[in-house]
Amino acid sequence: MTAVTTGPGLVLDVTETAAETAAEKRGRLATSADLYGRWERQQWAVAEVDPSRDAPRWQQLSRFARTQMLGSLAELEVGEVTVTHTLGSLIDNPPTEDDRIYLCTQLADEARHVKFFQAYLTDGCGISLADAEGTELEGSADYARVFAPELIAVTGALRDHPGDMDSWYRALVYYHLITEGVLASAALRTTRFLARRLNLEALDEGLTNVARDESRHVSFGLRAAQEGVAGGFAAVVEDSHFEAIAPAAWVLIGPARHNPAPAIHPALLSRAAQLRGAIEIARERLVKQLRLVGLAHLHDRAGRAWDEGIEVALDAYAERWGTPHPIRAAELAGGGGHHSTEGEHD
C-alpha cells in the first residue's frame, strides 16, 4: 500500500492492497487535524472534470462494456447517495471536536461525489436519472438493496442513542471500514482500470479524485477504529466487522445482476479472473484493515468469513439465474479463474 507521506500523519492510498510497508507499520495514521489540512490542499471541482467529454467515446463502447460500466457506476452512485444521507449521526457524536471538524469536510466530499457520478451518468453516459432507465439502474444496485439498509439501521441507531459510543463505533465500521474501505475501494480500483482500458478520460480523472478523497476517509476510519480498539471498544469493532462481512460479500458478487459466462474458454477464464480480482482486492483490504486497527488476531477468521460469504452469494446467483456465475463456471470448466490483474498496475 502506498503511503502519502506529505504532512505529519500517514494517509494510505485506498486503491492499493499490498502488505504494509515498514514505514506504515511504525508510522502514525493521520489525525483529524492532519486530514483537515489535506482536505484544504486537495480540492477539486466536478465542472473541471467535465464528464461530457467522454460522451463520444461512450457511444462507441460495445454493449458488454457499456453494461459493465453502467453497473459499476450505478453501484458507486447509489453508495455515495447513501453515505451522504447517513454521515450526519457520526458528525453529531464524535469522540473529539477535531473529529467533528474533519467529518464535516467529509460530508462536503460525499456531496461532491454524488454530483460527480450523477453528472457522469447524465452528461457522459446519456442516462437521465429521473426517468425509468435511471430509476431501474439505481434500483438494480446490490448495494442499495443489501448493504444500504444495514448502514441506515446502524447510523439510525446512533441517531436514536446519541452519545452511545458502542453505536458510534459500529456505525464507523459499517461506514468507513466496510462501505468505503472494502466495497468502494474495490469498486474504484476496478472501475478506474476499466475506464483507462476503455479510454474514458474524464471518468479516469474523476475516479482518481474520488479515490484521493476516499483515502482520507478510510484513513480517518482506521485511526478512529485504532483508538477505539485501544480505548475499550475492541469488542464492538470486532462484532461489527463480522456482522458486515456477509452482506458486503453479497454486494460484490451481486446475485441479482446477470453476469454472462463467455462460451469460449479463454474468454471465460479472463472474465472469471477479472471478477475474482475485485473480490480478492476487497478481501485483502478487509484483513489488512483489521491488522492496522489492532485486531490482527482476527485475520484468519475474517478471511474465512469472507470466503464463506462469497460462496453463499455464488450459490444464490446460480439459484437466481439457473446457471453458474462465471467464477463457478470457470472452476467447473477446469480453470480457477485466479486473480489476474492484467494491466491493472498501470
Partner 1 sequence: MDGSTLRAAVRRVIGEMSPLGQRQADSGDRLIEDLGYDSLAMIELSLRMEQEFSLQAAQPEETLGIKTVKDLEDFVEQNAGTPADAG
Find the binder of partner 1 among 25, 28, 265, 297 (CB under 8 A): 265
Find the binder of partner 1 among 17, 190, 270, 289 (CB under 8 A): 270
Q: Is 62 one of the binding residues for partner 1 (CB under 8 A)? A: yes
Find the helix or strand (DSSP H, E) in which 4 lies. Answer: strand 3-4
- Coil, helix or strand for 11? strand
User: Is 191:72 a contact under the CB 8 Å cutoff?
Assistant: yes
Q: Which stretch binds partner 1 (CB under 8 A): 9-17, 114-122, 205-213, 265-273?
A: 265-273
Q: Smallest distance from the beta carbon of 151 to partner 1, in angstroms?
A: 32
Strands (DSSP E) contained in 11-122 are 11-12
Find the helix or strand (DSSP H, E) in which 3 lies. Answer: strand 3-4
User: Is 95:161 a contact under the CB 8 Å cutoff?
Assistant: no
Q: Smallest distance from the beta carbon of 265 to partner 1, in angstroms?
A: 4
Choice between 181 and 277, CB closer to partner 1? 277
Q: Is 263 one of the binding residues for partner 1 (CB under 8 A)? A: yes
Q: Is 66 one of the binding residues for partner 1 (CB under 8 A)? A: no
**Nearest-angstrom CA–CA distance, 122 and 50:** 11
Choice between 232 and 334, CB closer to partner 1? 334
Choice between 224 and 273, CB closer to partner 1? 273
Q: Is 60 one of the binding residues for partner 1 (CB under 8 A)? A: no
Q: Is 273 one of the binding residues for partner 1 (CB under 8 A)? A: yes
Q: Smallest distance from the beta carbon of 15 to partner 1, in angstroms?
A: 19
Find the binder of partner 1 among 90, 261, 287, 292 (CB under 8 A): 261
User: Is 324:332 a contact under the CB 8 Å cutoff?
Assistant: yes
Q: What string marks each residue from 277 to 316 as x (binds partner 1 by CB under 8 A) or -?
A: ----------------------------------------
Q: Is 333 one of the binding residues for partner 1 (CB under 8 A)? A: yes
Choice between 187 and 194, CB closer to partner 1? 194
User: Is 138:132 a contact under the CB 8 Å cutoff?
Assistant: no
Q: Smallest distance from the beta carbon of 262 to partner 1, in angstroms?
A: 4
**Nearest-angstrom CA–CA distance, 26 and 98:** 23
Query: Could you give the C-alpha distances from 147 to 29, 110, 140, in angstroms and in order?
Result: 27, 17, 13
Q: Is 274 one of the binding residues for partner 1 (CB under 8 A)? A: yes
Q: Is 101 one of the binding residues for partner 1 (CB under 8 A)? A: no
**Nearest-angstrom CA–CA distance, 254 and 277:** 15
C-alpha cell at 298: 482476527
Using CB under 8 A, count the residues that bind partner 1.
25
325 φ/ψ sector (left φ>0, alpha ψ -120 to 50, else beta): beta
Choice between 87 and 314, CB closer to partner 1? 314
Query: Phi then psi for 203, rounded to 5 degrees?
Result: -65, -45
Q: Is 338 one of the binding residues for partner 1 (CB under 8 A)? A: no
User: Is 242:306 a contact under the CB 8 Å cutoff?
Assistant: no
Q: Smallest distance from the beta carbon of 190 to partner 1, in angstroms?
A: 12
**Which residues pair with residue 29 across a beta bridge?**
10
Cα dihedral 314, 297, 173, 228, rounded to 10, equals 180
Instruction: Give the binding site for partner 1 (CB under 8 A).
Output: 62, 64-65, 194, 197, 260-268, 270-271, 273-274, 329, 333-335, 340, 342-343
